[in-house]
Amino acid sequence: MANPFEKRATEYLRNDEAFLSVVSTAPLHSYFEQKARDGSLYDRLTMVIGTPGSGKTTIATLFQYKTQSTLLRNPGMDSYKELVHAMSNCGVISGNKLVVVGCRLPLETEYREFWELPYPEELRHGLIQSLLQARAVISWVQNIIDTRNVQTDAIKIIPREGAVASLGQIGGENAVDVLEKAREVERAVYRIGAALVSPAIKDIPLDATAAYHPFDVIETFSITGKDSVVQNLKPLVILDDAHTLHPKQLLAVQSWLAKREIRIARWLLMRLDAQTPRATLSEALEHELEGESATRIKPAREITEIWLQKTGDRSNQRQQFRKMAREMADKYISLMDVFRHQGITSLTSILGTMPEPLSEAKYRNLESKVSRVQRAHNISADRRQILETEVERFCRGSKLPDLGRDVQLGILNILMHRYVKRVPQASLFESQEDLDPNKPISANADVVDGAKIHLLHEYGRPYYYGIDVLCDGSSENAEQFLQLAGRLVSVAETRIIRGDRPLLSTPYQHKVLQKRALEIVQSWSFPEYKLVRTINDEMVRQCVEKALEPNASLGGGPNAFGIPQDEFNKIPESHPDLSQVLKYGIAYNSFSLTQNHKTKGRYWCLLELSGAAIIANGLSLRRGNFLERDVKHMITVLEEGGK
């Protein structure tokens, strides 16, 4: 098949078996299992928010009843076992039976058009609600019939307590009548939205406006199997791409689905940019519920929030993404015949990890540079020997890879500059006395990273290679991972076809990744992207400048601006234009946030560059280092960039 890395594969895999074979369980473990265990995943409105490519549609497709039925038909397949276990932990499977019937309704179709109809808002919202409910009922019943191979009369509606009297308005308790009623409502509402000329209010069919509230009535579906065994299924409706609705439509749908009376499980999946700037910057939903819902519903208790790529334990999050990305990549590789025929089943097997040291000529040049530093700063031979011993000590005991002689010389160069900074400068030139620094000088992982960044910029030594770099450069975003990995896979595929070895050397990986990352950054075309690029470019310039300081004061250098948390919290009110720019930058993977990062006794909000921007500009992927800035500085950057 074609390279699945080069497209959003899960949206093109129409076969459920093929889809399930490439799905990773990591997001389920990270975001859904705990919510299922504490009972908040199916008993109230669940909002799932993420950036483009974070896996929202994959999750929605996975929770569909027909997809789960396919999974359960093949529980013994090795590739399915972990997925069956994860779905059991998520409360979809109990024993060997499905207990949830899920349907996905993508909202990117005609629903937005209902907002343009020449009717009062209340009527427009009512039409949308009727259409969504009718289509959900049709999907639930039809999926049960198709997957369970049962007759319609074997399916019964179990109403929630107190709603028995309302069964009549949805068609009764028999699924045959309920399905027919849903189809009548769907036809009536659809004709209104699809008409070239909208009918007058008095001409709207009664089926479109009559009381129809199956979400308020249905609690479960009861299915009587051929063996006369009765099983109950809890209905789940997943409204995907909710951000495509008009903001007022989205607010109305959210308010409606948040009602306590509704017993079905209901999820809203949307992008970050559907949120207000305050919600995006604080990663906390602003539930501006309307009408009666505003007084009856307490969002903190009635709405479950799941933020994909949410900040928190950043180290743990990075490890989880690495696991997910590896699983996904290996499953995609297995779909490609050209690799399977070569016995290649893992992405890591085509990524070389042997460091590419400096050439002899470049190494001699580096040696001369270090000697010049020693002479220029009057560093004694004994002091140099002490620093060299420190470098050797660290490298002997370190488990870090790639600590060759060129890296060690780069570390020594940094330690020399740190020594100069920690000795009174006048003393160096007034006497040959070998003074001790005012602070111990030691080699560590940060210094190693700084040395490698210096060697990258000064001598072109490869820095970006290997599976971990590929994962970390994706900013915990599945689609960006596929974009970066896809180019490497394509090259390896071409090599196999030509009869060459598919293994990609570290210099080649570095070259390909930097080129692809630059293409990703240059392809930004979302709202406010020019201003986002202005901030990005200035952050890059300042971070590179800091990273190349001879003494590597921040190790491999910064990749973020740190803004005092109390200042950052006020941005939506004090600087709405800046908050709008940051909102879109975060929503489209150009930046990421780390809230309440404590350093030097203060709390900071770190505005971190995307992995693509980091790779494209030769910055370190190590997190935590930042430049201290304030909101005033950010405003100046925008103003000067707009000139």
Percentage of residues in the chain having pLDDT higher than 70: 92
Percentage of residues in the chain having pLDDT higher than 90: 68
| Shared-domain flag, residues 565 and 636 | yes
C-alpha distances (whole Å) from 250 to each of 125, 189, 288, 308 are 10, 19, 11, 19
Rounded to whole angstroms, the Cα distance separating 369 from 375 reads 10
In a domain, 347, yes or no: no
pLDDT at 265 over 90: yes
| Of residues 307, 292, 205, 207, the one with CA closest to residue 252 | 292
pLDDT at 525 over 50: yes
Q: What is the pLDDT of residue 428?
A: 47
Per-chain mean pLDDT for the chain: 89
* SS3 (DSSP) at 532: helix
pLDDT digits (tens, 9 = 90+) for 410-440: 999 999 999 999 987 654 455 556 788 888 9
| Shared-domain flag, residues 44 and 133 | yes
Q: What is the pLDDT of residue 7?
A: 61
pLDDT digits (tens, 9 = 90+) for 271-293: 888 888 887 887 655 544 444 44
pLDDT digits (tens, 9 = 90+) for 316-374: 788 888 988 998 899 889 888 899 899 999 999 999 999 999 999 999 999 999 999 99
In a domain, 323, yes or no: no
In a domain, 143, yes or no: yes
In a domain, 272, yes or no: yes
In a domain, 204, yes or no: yes
Q: Are 221 and 156 in contact (CB under 8 A)?
A: yes
Rounded to whole angstroms, the Cα distance separating 88 from 81 reads 11
| Of residues 125, 145, 292, 137, the one with CA closest to residue 215 | 137
In a domain, 114, yes or no: yes
Residue that is last in its domain, among 442, 459, 476: 459
Rounded to whole angstroms, the Cα distance separating 585 from 566 reads 21
* Domain span including residue 454: 360-459
| Shared-domain flag, residues 265 and 366 | no
pLDDT digits (tens, 9 = 90+) for 365-407: 999 999 999 999 999 999 999 999 999 999 999 999 999 999 9
pLDDT digits (tens, 9 = 90+) for 182-218: 999 999 999 998 888 899 999 999 999 999 999 999 9
Q: What is the pLDDT of residue 569?
A: 94
| Shared-domain flag, residues 216 and 106 | yes
Q: How many domains does the chain have?
A: 3
Rounded to whole angstroms, the Cα distance separating 7 from 15 reads 16
Mean pLDDT of the region 474-494: 93
| Shared-domain flag, residues 249 and 379 | no
Residue that is last in its domain, among 459, 481, 496: 459
| Shared-domain flag, residues 157 and 237 | yes
| Shared-domain flag, residues 79 and 201 | yes
pTM (2 decimals)?
Answer: 0.88
- DSSP assignment of 119-132: S-HHHHHHHHHHHH
Mean pLDDT of the region 435-448: 91
| Shared-domain flag, residues 454 and 533 | no
Mean pLDDT of the region 90-119: 91
pLDDT at 641 over 80: no
| Shared-domain flag, residues 439 and 571 | no
In a domain, 30, yes or no: no
Q: What is the pLDDT of residue 295?
A: 40
Q: What is the DSSP letter of 31?
A: I
| Shared-domain flag, residues 171 and 62 | yes
Residue that is last in its domain, among 273, 288, 310: 310
| Shared-domain flag, residues 455 and 547 | no
In a domain, 350, yes or no: no
| Shared-domain flag, residues 642 and 531 | yes
Q: What is the pLDDT of residue 165?
A: 81
Q: Are 129 and 262 in contact (CB under 8 A)?
A: no
Q: What is the pLDDT of residue 275?
A: 80
* SS3 (DSSP) at 283: coil
Q: What is the pLDDT of residue 292?
A: 43
Taking CA 154 as the corner, what is the angle to CA 150 and CA 158, rounded to the nearest 5 degrees? 130
Mean pLDDT of the region 439-466: 96
Q: What is the pLDDT of residue 180?
A: 95
Element counts in the chain: helices (H) and strands (E) = 30, 13
Q: Which two tokens stand for residue 191?
A: 């004709």
